[in-house]
Amino acid sequence: MVKVIGSLNWIFVSRILGGEGIGLYQMAFPIYFFAMSISQAGVPVAISIITAERVALKDIFGAKRVFRISMVLMVFTGLFFSILTYLGAQWLIDWHFIRDPRAYLSVVALAPAIFFVTLLASSRGYLQGWQRMTPTAVSQIVEQIFRVITMVMFASILLPWGLDYAAAGASFGAFAGAVTGLIVLVYFHWRLDKDIERDYGHELKPLPGDEQASVGKIVKRIFALALPVSAASIMLPIVSNLDLLIVPQRLEVAGYTVNQATELFGYLTGMAVPLVNLSTILTASLAVSIVPAISEARALKDPERVFNQTAASVRISNFVCFPAFVVVLVLATPISTLIYNAPGAGPAVLISSFSIVLLGLHQVSTAVLQGLGHPSIPMVNMILAAVAKVILNWTLTAIPALGIMGAAWATAADMGVAAVINLYFIHRYIGYRMEIPQLLKTIGAAAVMAGGVKLFYDFTMAAWGINAISTFGAVFAGIAVYILVLLLIGGILEEDMARIPMIGRVSIRLLRKAGVFKTKDDQGAH
């Protein structure tokens, strides 16, 4: 739900700001993302773990004390990085870390959000330690809704003042979303305190015989738990900042002006990449469910179950991602025109389509390795992939014939390198190799689908000339062809379908009614 709202947000804002305006926003966002990641430094996860430990021991006094200490810590770190971002905005421009000076206002507008987002994340961590997941879900939805409304409203209002003001208005949405999300959590904290008073009384005391840890010891424990988490989570903002540093600069080397480089950067990071992320929502959800499933099978010492879970996850990833890849590849420019009103984003979107399959494999393989008890391996692999991306960004983006497409190829390579190395280690640990016959069936169905999508779009555009009808029609027709071909060649397994988040169970029921999958009664009759 949160990702869908976020994706819709990009559509609305991109249509208002255009490629150049969204480029200004995207130049500021990596700075905000990096400062926010450093400010939190994995502390919310640490708070969740320590709180859960204290609650399990019925040490409610200790749990609340840990939360108070951690929140004081987060107030200082959040405030520090908010001020640092605000004061450092001009320095980032003067030293050409941000190539376009017009992004200054966007950086400044994002600065106060760092403080509130840091408090927001820590509050969620504490509530999760109490096994209360509803507050996180509700606050995230409210945060996204208010963020979208604010971004669209301020971007529209400030657009007559100039693109730099409009991008800053959109950036202010992060602040509005964080504040409203925090207000929601204040209510849930009040509810929790009422429940604590009911169950444990008003006077909370340390456990008898339990030595009260000093503030220093608690802070030390928080950072001991937080640092490994932060080391992994910080890779994404680092890569984003490397893109910000390299891509616009190399586009200028390729012969583009600063304004043109900003626009092209916006096409890639603000339009193409969100489409890739939207296309992999299902695999991202699948990855979340894989970790506990693999962990459980490993704990039960059931290698066959571990292997089957892994194989099924890779098959599902390919099943979901290949048709998404085909749609974005064949309809790159029509989709860019329809969604963003930016046909110029077509080339960046086209090349980025290759990232869909690779990102899906990366998500799933990372989850498998985490479930196998090797969380550090994906992190190291991401570092190696980031090195490859930097080299390719520097080389390909400066080639005039490629330009922003070179950066898109570098992003695809980043995902590909990480995914391939992940799969290598999975093979080392459990002996899994990708099932070539099943993969060929999926590729074959996707190839037929590509032809169907192209024919449908070209025919309907020639007949009616309405891009929206042709694009949507081609997508639905293509998916129908893809599924039909897979059914004919035996490329869909019922057990795999059952594992697909959101749509799996519904699809099985429909396919059983159609007689494709046998019901239990049918199986009994034979």
User: pLDDT tens digits for 259-307?
Assistant: 999 999 999 988 999 899 888 888 887 876 787 788 778 878 899 999 9
- The owner of tokens 């391996």 is 377
Mean per-residue pLDDT, 221-230? 71
| Cα gap 465→331, rounded to integer Å | 15
| Within-domain flag for 199 | yes
Q: Which domain holds residue 80?
A: 1-232
* 443-479 pLDDT, tens digit each: 999 999 999 999 999 999 999 999 999 999 999 999 9
Angle between helices 2-40 and 104-129 (to 10 degrees): 90
Confirm whether 432 is domain-assigned.
no
d(CA 319, CA 439): 9
Task: Kindly tell me if the per-residue pLDDT of 496 is higher than 80.
Answer: no
Q: What is the mean pLDDT of residues 334-362?
A: 95
Residue bearing the bigger pLDDT, 128 or 329: 329
Residue 197 structure tokens: 């008073």
What are the C-alpha distances in Å from 409 to residues 239, 255, 275, 384, 427? 15, 19, 15, 16, 27
78 occurs within a structural domain: yes
Query: What pLDDT was estimated at residue 520?
Result: 44
- What are the C-alpha distances in Å from 41 to residues 44, 177, 185, 285? 8, 21, 21, 24
Task: Please check the confidence at residue 325 and state whether its pLDDT lies above 60.
Answer: yes
Percent of the chain with pLDDT over 90: 56
Residue range 156-206, pLDDT digits in tens: 999 999 999 999 999 999 999 999 999 999 999 999 989 888 888 777 777
Structural domain contains residue 64: yes
- Identify whether 137 is part of a domain: yes
The arithmetic mean of pLDDT across residues 46-64, rounded, is 82
Q: What is the pLDDT of residues 354-370, one digit of tens each?
A: 999 999 999 999 889 98
Is 83 domain-assigned?
yes
Question: pLDDT value at position 375?
Answer: 75
Looking at residue 526, its pLDDT comes to: 44
Whole-model pTM above 0.85? Answer: no
Residue 437, domain member (yes or no) = no
Instruction: Write the single-letter amino acid at 10.
Output: W
- In the predicted structure, residue 408 carries a pLDDT above the cut 50: yes
What is the residue type of 308? N
Task: Tally the domains of the chain.
Answer: 1
Is 332 within 8 Å of 350 (Cβ atoms)?
yes
- Give the mean pLDDT of 12-22: 88
Distance in angstroms (rounded) separating the CA atoms of residues 492 and 423: 22
Residue 296 maps to a domain: no
Q: What is the DSSP letter of 203?
A: -
- The total number of residues shown for the chain amounts to 526
Confidence at residue 128, expressed as pLDDT on a 0 to 100 scale: 80
The residue whose two tokens read 């301020």 is 154
Distance set, CA 23 to CA 35, 64, 258, 270, 410 (Å): 19, 43, 11, 7, 18
Among the listed ranges 71-80, 390-399, 485-494, 502-511, which one has the minimum average pLDDT value?
502-511
Per residue, the 3-state secondary structure of 339-389, as one string, reads HHCCHHHHHHHHHHCHHHHHHHHHHHHHHHHHHCCCCHHHHHHHHHHHHHH
Residue 233 has pLDDT above 50, yes or no: yes
